[in-house]
Homo-oligomer: A and B are copies of this chain.
């Protein structure tokens, strides 16, 4: 898709990017590290490995996943430029990470990271903030996997992708989907066939429009939100929820 356009050398990037980055910030920690390159499909670390490093995605995407008993794969998230991997664990990695496409990353050692964070209250609150966001995403994903239909999952996914990775063509409502259908399926708890069929249906209804294999244009953003099932639940005034026996403090 859109490769080969932004292949800067590290020295080109150094000055302008450092400008404006607070001395005490997580971004700042990584800035000093060299950029490494991962080819599409290459593994960054495996579930169970000693978690010796933390990573920042500079460009590209990672998939974060676990494999269970008979080979079933669960993708628990995608990381895009600016995201970090490995913050939420010490000891061993809880999941594996692979490059979805050619990807550039930076790494710092857990030891250095811990030392720097211990020294700086700013970094601490940044880390807390990251963990909170991670937790919030996990909550959303549990809701999606627990109670949403295939269509709702797809719509939620497209909207989240649109927010998380606002590409150059974002204003035209075009969302990049660097991952394969299998990746999407394993992320949404569906099969490739169901993902494909659902995309087809949304396309036929004029809600989205595929742009090649790895991008989609969102034509009816509002409808998409409706179908995502993320609407708040209000029942006019008081919550007449059958489960809730008591009233709140």
Q: A41, B145: Cβ atoms under 8 Å?
A: no
For A218-249 the 0/1 string (1 means CB < 8 A from B) is 00000000000111110100010101111111
Bound complex: CA A12 to CA B248 (Å): 34
Closest residue of chain B to A135 (Cβ to Cβ) is B88
Any B CB within 8 A of the CB of A90: yes
Query: How many copies of this chain does the complex contain?
Result: 2
Q: Is the CB of A142 within 8 A of B43?
A: no
B residues in contact with A233, CB < 8 Å: 67-71
Query: Is B43's CB under 8 angstroms from A230's CB?
Result: no
Known: A67-B241, A68-B231. 6 other contacts (CB 8 A): A41-B245, A46-B248, A71-B233, A74-B142, A74-B146, A145-B189
Ordered by A's residue number, 17 sampled pairs between the chains whose C-beta atoms are within 8 Å are: A42-B245, A43-B244, A43-B247, A46-B248, A48-B241, A49-B248, A68-B230, A69-B231, A71-B235, A73-B147, A74-B142, A74-B143, A89-B135, A89-B136, A92-B241, A94-B139, A138-B139
